[in-house]
């Protein structure tokens, strides 16, 4: 299996770096090919701009990033740093995001990687999403750390359930583009743990990585569970914490795939 690890932490001696190194060691030992995009070490540009494109702009009067991405992809004219990352994505069978949860989300540099690399035209567009996603047949996984204990991310925790917190990545990035999301691996508050406890987490992560072939993916509703308005059918039980029925407001007109891209 070919694995791409997109690593987003500035500290070379951070626990995220240790998890990244553990993944490389474990996956390589198990016979997999591994590439790492260490975004901070690379100095990855975290600002989408006209510099992302090398061909004359199609929307130069009012730069519209997603539409420009689609146009530039058709011309084959992305900047070299974006092309290099897109080639890694096309190469991999499994993509792992390694990051600390900052302000209840992914770090800005990783968000920028998604915005710049997973460009419209390349990774989505024209109705190519979810069950029709570009990267069907591939897998993706979150590996992350938190600043506070697991109890704060429990179902009744003050920060909300960890799987709901990660939904914008597992569903909004991975599944949206066709990747099959695997359950996330979360290291809760490693800074508060002893060296021995941190080693136990790394060992658990290694064991998880060694059983990827038998790991059941996260449940995602298939397309047939949704109606023409892209809402769950009334007789389908919502199985995501971020989805529920609102029977008081069901009269919503159908939404076309193209309408979802209007800004």
- What is the token pair recorded at 69? 């991405």
pLDDT by residue, tens only, the chain of 263 residues: 999 999 999 999 999 999 999 999 999 999 999 999 999 999 999 999 999 999 988 876 788 999 999 999 999 889 999 999 999 999 999 999 999 999 999 999 999 999 999 999 999 999 999 999 999 999 999 999 999 999 999 999 999 999 999 999 999 999 999 999 999 999 999 999 999 999 999 999 999 999 999 999 999 999 999 999 999 999 999 988 788 887 766 555 555 554 443 44
According to CATH, the topology of domain 2-217 is Rossmann fold (3.40.50)
Contact between 125 and 70 (Cβ < 8 Å): yes
Helix H, strand E, coil C: the string for 29-75 is HCCCEEEEEEHHHHCCCCCCCHHHECCCCCCCCCCCHHHHHHHHHHH
61 CB-side CA count, 13 A: 0
Q: What is the pTM of this model?
A: 0.91
Q: Where are the domains of the chain?
A: 2-217, 221-263
The CA distance from 42 to 13, in Å, is: 16
């Amino acid at each position: 299996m070919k694995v791409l690890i997109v690593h987003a932490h500035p500290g070379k001696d951070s626990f995220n770096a240790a998890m990244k190194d553990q993944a490389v060691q474990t996956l390589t030992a198990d016979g997999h090919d591994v590439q790492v995009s260490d975004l901070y070490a690379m100095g990855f540009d975290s600002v989408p701009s006209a510099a992302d494109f090398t061909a004359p702009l199609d929307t130069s009067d009012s730069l519209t990033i997603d539409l420009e991405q689609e146009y530039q992809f058709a011309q084959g004219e992305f900047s070299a740093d974006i092309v290099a990352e897109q080639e890694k994505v096309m190469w991999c069978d499994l993509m792992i995001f390694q990051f600390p949860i900052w302000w209840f989300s992914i770090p800005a540099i990783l968000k920028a990687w998604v915005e710049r690399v997973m460009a419209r035209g390349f990774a989505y567009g024209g109705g190519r999403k979810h069950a029709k996603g570009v990267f069907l047949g591939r897998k993706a996984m979150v590996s992350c750390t938190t600043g506070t204990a697991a109890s704060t991310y429990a179902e009744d925790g003050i920060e909300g359930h960890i799987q709901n917190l990660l939904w914008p990545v597992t569903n909004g990035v991975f599944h949206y583009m066709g990747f099959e999301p695997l359950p996330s691996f979360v290291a809760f508050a490693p800074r508060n743990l002893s060296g021995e406890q941190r080693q136990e987490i790394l060992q658990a992560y290694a064991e998880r990585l060694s059983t990827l072939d038998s790991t059941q993916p996260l449940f995602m509703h298939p397309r047939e569970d949704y109606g023409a308005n892209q809402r769950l059918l009334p007789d389908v039980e919502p199985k995501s914490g971020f989805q529920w029925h609102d029977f008081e407001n069901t009269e919503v007109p159908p939404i076309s795939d193209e309408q979802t891209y209007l800004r």
